[in-house]
Structure 1
């Protein structure tokens, strides 16, 4: 979404930086993070966010420009738990108020986003609170799943294949049903859900096609057949690919 302000000045940018390799940033993304008054990134308490690390290739840390938004809770609390939704909602309200104050002072804000801002992105929660109030531009980025299937050398769809993107947080039976009803799939939000995802893939008869990808395009990248993965550890930046097998010419 891009709103053209009367004075020609966009204040809020949601900037997709791609899956982790700085070479996958767009020219537009690079231009914005170099010139924005404030660089904003989400992170876990005590850590720098991955998007900010990606941006290190373009802009050095600068305390005068940085705004860190540290999540009050992350994977230690299940998403469906009230102990997650309440604090997270308050966190987004407070973060939006902080950024609004900056923009009311005329400063431009670049929110650095992993992958694409509008694909399972934290930025969307700020966008919903702020885009109707301030001139906004969203800069698309290469998604994590595109980085994953490229690095896995796994064409994901052929011909008329239908691809389904699934969160691993779904109930096991629902995962299995949806997997059985599609030609290709990407399963995200693994974490503690990986054992359940394995069982759903087995129930759908797809375990032999499943590819596990961790930290795609990053230095610590891991690509393996899911059936060969001997443990159930899955960090935040991981997913399972099920390539389609449709019409090949």
Structure 2
């Protein structure tokens, strides 16, 4: 990079938290309020959940940059075509964001916490030594979900296991059978397989499904009672721990 190409701005990745605006951090809210450029991921043809979360918060005159995924479920996530399409997508947007920082800050919106299964991680990897990066952490979606169940996720010596629902069914079952407490993410069309894994592990009756936790459309129910065809991607399966704790005094 030539001296005259040195960026004047930063790339600020703002963690939005689990979905409710009032669970956003002050630092994130201030970054959004001061933004001249806002970037966010979305599926083609959709508004995008990150953009919907900040509705009514954007300053006048802000320029929006919708980063539209080239594929989502059209190709299997393990296929060469999927990996190549996503790699080119992230390469392109890393270049575009770097160009924007030559004059201004750019705020990249990220649901939950940016470094917890967030798409921004793939940009962060590509932006090293190319831009000044600031990452603002956020409350994770899973934390919002287990809090909305009204029960602690872990007690005492409980070990919390976090699993992507894309794992093979037998591996899910093995890990769930060994878990004290667990969170399964990336649900959507994986739910029938996750339910079968829980049943194999003998944990189905302990599992709860939280859909759109902390948001207006929130639904929480025992997983065994849920219609498997009625589950969006933004859902989380919760298994609460039952570990060591002082006995409550009984009056």
Normalised by the length of structure 1, the TM-score is: 0.92
1:29 matched to 2:43: no
Q: How far off is 1:27 after superposition?
A: 0.6
Write out per-residue CA displacement over residues 9-47 of structure 1, whole angstroms, 9 at most, x where no aligned residue: 760111101111000010100111111221000001111
Structure 1: give runs of 5+ residues left out of the alignment.
1-6
Task: Give yes or no for contact 1:29–1:139 (8 Å, CA) kept in 2.
Answer: yes
Give the 3 Å change call, closer, same or farther, for CA 56–131 of structure 1 in structure 2. Answer: farther
Alpha-carbon distance in structure 2 between the residues aligned to 1:82 and 1:93? 16
Q: How far off is 1:83 after superposition?
A: 2.8
Q: How far off is 1:61 after superposition?
A: 7.5
Task: Give the alignment partner of residue 230 of structure 1, picking from 199, 221, 227.
Answer: 227
Aligned partner of 1:95 in structure 2 is 93
Task: Give yes or no for contact 1:96–1:129 (8 Å, CA) kept in 2.
Answer: yes
Task: Give the alignment partner of residue 160 of structure 1, picking from 157, 166, 169.
Answer: 157
Task: Give the alignment partner of residue 82 of structure 2, picking from 81, 84, 90.
Answer: 84
Aligned partner of 1:131 in structure 2 is 128
1:186 matched to 2:198: no
Give the 3 Å change call, closer, same or farther, for CA 226–61 of structure 1 in structure 2. Answer: farther
Structure 2: give runs of 5+ residues left out of the alignment.
1-5, 247-251
Aligned partner of residue 201 in structure 1, secondary structure: helix
Aligned Cα root-mean-square deviation (Å): 1.7
Aligned partner of residue 147 in structure 2, secondary structure: helix
1:106 matched to 2:103: yes
Give the 3 Å change call, closer, same or farther, for CA 193–173 of structure 1 in structure 2. Answer: same
Aligned partner of 2:3 in structure 1 is none
Runs of 4+ in structure 1 deviating by more than 3 angstroms, as ranges, are none
Q: How far off is 1:81 after superposition?
A: 2.2
Task: Give yes or no for contact 2:189–2:233 (8 Å, CA) kept in 1.
Answer: no
Alpha-carbon distance in structure 2 between the residues aligned to 1:30 and 1:84? 34
Q: How far off is 1:60 after superposition?
A: 5.7
1:210 matched to 2:210: no
Write out per-residue CA displacement over residues 59-117 of structure 1, whole angstroms, 9 at most, x where no aligned residue: 2675x5101100111123321122321111111111111111111x2210110000000
Write out per-residue CA displacement over residues 146-196 of structure 1, whole angstroms, 9 at most, x where no aligned residue: 110111112100111000000011111111111111100000011221111
The total of aligned residue pairs comes to: 241
Aligned partner of 2:249 in structure 1 is none
Q: How far off is 1:212 after superposition?
A: 0.3
Normalised by the length of structure 2, the TM-score is: 0.91
> Where do 1:54-73 residues align within 5 Å?
54-59=53-58, 62=61, 64-73=62-71
Aligned partner of 2:172 in structure 1 is 175
